[in-house]
Amino acid sequence: MSRIEDTESLQDLGRASIQIVHDLKNQLNGLKLYATFLRRRIEKSDRPDDEQETISKLISGLDRAASDLSTIVEFGREIELKKQPGFEVAKVLRNLCSTFQESEAQVVCESDADSIQGEFDHSKLSDAFKSMFAGAIKFKRKDDDAEAVKVSLTTADNHAMIEWSGLRPLDHDPFRAFAGSDEIRLSLAKKIIEAHGGSTNLADNKFVVVLPLSGSQSG
């Protein structure tokens, strides 16, 4: 088999895999519908609390699995960006920091500028940053519970660099391993950032993102 045939076979396999995962997601959504109906029946009847708790856990598990499958499908497809100017990198990071702090996550943010703008896909890049926050908090160093994940934003040579530090040593690259929900989302985040011309790496127990700020303004 030639290299071209190999490539075409892999592309066919990729498309088939995406369709299979999409179908599995639909089946999970169907199971969730039945489970939700069953929970309503249980709530209306005089059933033990542990039965209600069990069905609620089942629905939560189905939600997580469907969400992971949606992320895998999105990862398998080509990233289509709708770039718009005026994406406030610093503001988005501050807002995400506040959101995670409200959920009692240990995270602090700092930036060398109040306003750092670039031309990006607002929705996709915001989601990518959110996944970076969630992943960093998941992999936070555990030897000191009082230490927070530190998110720092700096600019140089018309590029923005964002670092999530305070992570524990990892035995795998979470941006290239589909080892769990967080890794799946981090892999998609990496793909979105690279589609913007940036890079994402794990270095010295830090998540490091570099984004070009062509045509941007900072101050």
Tell me: the pLDDT tens digits for 52-83?
A: 888 888 888 888 888 777 787 788 888 999 99
Quote the pLDDT of residue 92. 94
The structure tokens listed for 205 are 């127990």
Tell me: the pLDDT tens digits for 71-125?
A: 877 888 889 999 999 899 999 999 999 998 887 778 888 988 778 888 999 999 9
Q: What's the rounded Cα separation, in Å, for the pair 114 and 117? A: 10
pTM value? 0.76
Quote the pLDDT of residue 6. 44
Quote the pLDDT of residue 15. 61
Domain ranges of the chain: 3-76, 84-212
Nearest to 101 by CA among 149, 62, 64, 163: 149
Quote the pLDDT of residue 4. 52
Is a pLDDT exceeding 80 seen at residue 24?
A: no
The CATH code for residues 84-212 is 3.30.565.10
Nearest to 191 by CA among 116, 81, 88: 81
Tell me: the pLDDT tens digits for 171-210?
A: 889 998 777 888 989 999 999 999 999 999 999 999 999 9
Quote the pLDDT of residue 127. 95
